Structure 1
Amino acid sequence: MKAALVAPNGTLLHEARRPTGRDRGPDAVVESILAFAEDLRAHGVTHFGESASAAGVIVPGIVDAENGIALYAANLGWSDVPMRTLLSERLGGIPIALGHDVRTGGLAEGRIGAGQGADRFLFVPLGTGIAGAIGINGTIEPGAHASAGEIGHIVVRPGGVDCGCGQRGCLERYASASAVSLAWAAATGDPDADAADCAKAVEAKDPKALAVWQDAVDALADGLVTALTLLDPRTIIVGGGLAEAGETLFGPLREAVEKRVTFQKLPTIVPAALGDTAGCLGAGLLAWDLLATYNDKTPQNTPQNTPHTPHTTHAMHTDVMAPTEVSD
């Protein structure tokens, strides 16, 4: 888990990390989150003279953001957790925003990261799997059923490798950091070889690495071209562990996408700017947005009657790092 105190301008005033405790079961994970939030609040009082005025928490899996419920997360083992209610009770009734990890990371990249100035963007982190966040005018489109942006489950190789979603040939089975790690381990015969090792071997012009890497790039380009055909983004932001390869990834990826487009307008393809702070920053933005709606609904919200602007909000990012991820 990552947590932070976030200023109104998006500055991270304090950061901390803790394990989720998932080996002790889902109830322990929930209690870890609540205790972490409580400690973060106490830190704000001690070091900034006041507690945070709102909190944002983002989690993987299926999220009912409107009702504040973490519906399901396989890695964390929970279902139907009333996260907003539990956190609000623990934090003295302050406003609580709940969000999905990838969509919230996309919110941060769009507002204060690589997507600034782009009215339409697609954020695609390449990690254990592949997901996406569709940015439109400073907000993220959740979809009718809160599942918009699942680009990792576009079928790019029909009849290909089985995917946990029930399909075969999904993008994330070919172009995620996990997929590259598995392919490179198979190519080298080294079960400990991973995507970062493959990227280094690509830079050294290793023929096996070049083949593994190109397969992943081609699959990713196929998925991105499908997405840009449907969404017409001005910018595609690629993040996650695989993006840490820099131009080793982005050079061939831009070339592969350009070869595939026909009538479509070619978007700018850029690396994410916020790294692993995107989640916490996005959670902070969710909290500030929620606080703004509370203030807007206050009848006496006038210059004379409005309290001074609060200094901080809580921001929490709960996730699990799988062994095959290059980085979180």
Structure 2
Amino acid sequence: MGGTGMKAALVGADGALLHEARRATDRKRGPEAVVRSILDFAAELHAYGEEHLGRPASAAGVAVPGIVDDENGIAVYAANLGWRDVPLRKLLSAELRGVPVALGHDVRTGGLAEGRIGAGRDADRFLFLPLGTGIAGAIGINGVIEAGAHGYAGEIGHVVVRPGGVDCGCGQRGCLERYASASAVSLAWAAASGDPEADAADCAKAVESGDPRAVTVWQDAVDALADGLITAITLLDPRTLIIGGGLAEAGETLFLPLRAAVTERVTFQKLPLIVPAALGDTAGCLGAGLLAWDLLSTEVTA
């Protein structure tokens, strides 16, 4: 579930993508209409499985942005959807004839998929960071995502890397996501290039062509990201760092200087592998499918 679009899939027990569908979120119609569209979308997939695969889905998983109460199945707060305290698990289970429903945070759910069937599948401990509009993270330990005591684990985007720096929506100043997210690079490059329509992808292209203004903007972002990653490496000692999101689409234009910057900062810490995410924008719906299978597995063992 995203602010602009919804991605959905029917997922096998091994994480195989059996059927995929997408549709617009259409936030203009209001938060209630968005919830209704999710329920309708899920019902369509449920019916598709019954008609084309011989059986409906046994469980459902949904990944949403914002603050999520996984245990009680409530989307507590999602600013870009206008949600507050939406009982999504209850609503979705009722729509799908009572099947069990798992609810998860979008980044942690994407991290679950990357850890089990994506770039981190051979790593016992990893950190997944999508660099998009903001920066969040998912901490993976032996195939399970650590949510923390209150559901906030992994919020590396709000580690302060530039004390006293740019104001952040979280109330702090100098947060990592204000310097190294795709949106932060877009803003910086628009200002440096004088083109208000320029974005991070344009900046990456300009770096590749040798534009010194772009190189400066890009390196500033890479340095900020490396500073944040060193904090994460020091605290978590991950075996693998998985970088995804829009900024990672620049490929080695990002990864070559990032690996170098992190290596320069390591002292006693062990340097993890730094790799691109493997699942792209399907990670969230694949992870939601894995959440659903985990839910079924828990019910069987219980």
Give the alignment's TM-score, normalised by structure 1.
Answer: 0.90
Q: Which residue of 2 aligns with 1:190?
A: 195
Structure 2 counterparts to residues 79-228 of structure 1, below 5 A: 79-228=84-233
Distance 2:234 2:14 in 1: 34
Q: Which residue of 2 aligns with 1:302?
A: none
Secondary structure at the counterpart of residue 134 of structure 1: strand
Cα deviation digits, residues 197-249 of structure 1 (max 9, x gap): 00011011110110000000000000000111011111100000100100000
Q: How many residues align?
A: 297
Distance 1:15 1:195 in 2: 28
Q: Which residue of 1 aligns with 2:250?
A: 245
Secondary structure at the counterpart of residue 145 of structure 1: coil
User: RMSD of the alignment, in Å?
Assistant: 0.6
Structure 2 unaligned runs (5+)? 1-5
TM-fit CA distance, 1:22: 1.1
**Percent of pairs with identical residues:** 80
Q: Which residue of 2 aligns with 1:315?
A: none
Q: Which residue of 2 aligns with 1:15?
A: 20
Secondary structure at the counterpart of residue 75 of structure 1: helix
Give the alignment's TM-score, normalised by structure 2.
Answer: 0.97
Distance 1:16 1:118 in 2: 30
Secondary structure at the counterpart of residue 18 of structure 1: strand
Secondary structure at the counterpart of residue 162 of structure 1: coil
Q: Which residue of 2 aligns with 1:31?
A: 36
Structure having the higher helix fraction is 2
Distance 2:53 2:279 in 1: 25
Higher relative contact order (CA 8 A, sep 6+): 1
Distance 1:48 1:270 in 2: 35
Cα deviation digits, residues 71-114 of structure 1 (max 9, x gap): 00000001111111000100000010000000010010100111
Cα deviation digits, residues 98-151 of structure 1 (max 9, x gap): 000000100101001111121111001000000000011110000011000000
Distance 1:290 1:161 in 2: 41
Task: Tell whether 2:100 aligns with 1:67.
Answer: no
TM-fit CA distance, 1:294: 1.5
Q: Which residue of 2 aligns with 1:270?
A: 275
Matched residue type, 2:184: A
Q: Which residue of 2 aligns with 1:303?
A: none
Cα deviation digits, residues 15-66 of structure 1 (max 9, x gap): 1111112111110110010010011111111111111100000100000111
Distance 2:112 2:21 in 1: 21
Task: Tell whether 2:7 aligns with 1:2.
Answer: yes
Secondary structure at the counterpart of residue 9 of structure 2: strand
Structure 1 stretches of 4+ moved >3 Å: none
Cα deviation digits, residues 137-167 of structure 1 (max 9, x gap): 1100000110000000000001110000000
Matched residue type, 1:83: L
Structure 1 unaligned runs (5+)? 298-328
Matched residue type, 2:288: A
TM-fit CA distance, 1:195: 0.3
Distance 1:21 1:247 in 2: 35
Matched residue type, 2:281: D
Distance 1:247 1:270 in 2: 10
Distance 1:118 1:49 in 2: 35
Task: Tell whether 2:288 aligns with 1:283.
Answer: yes
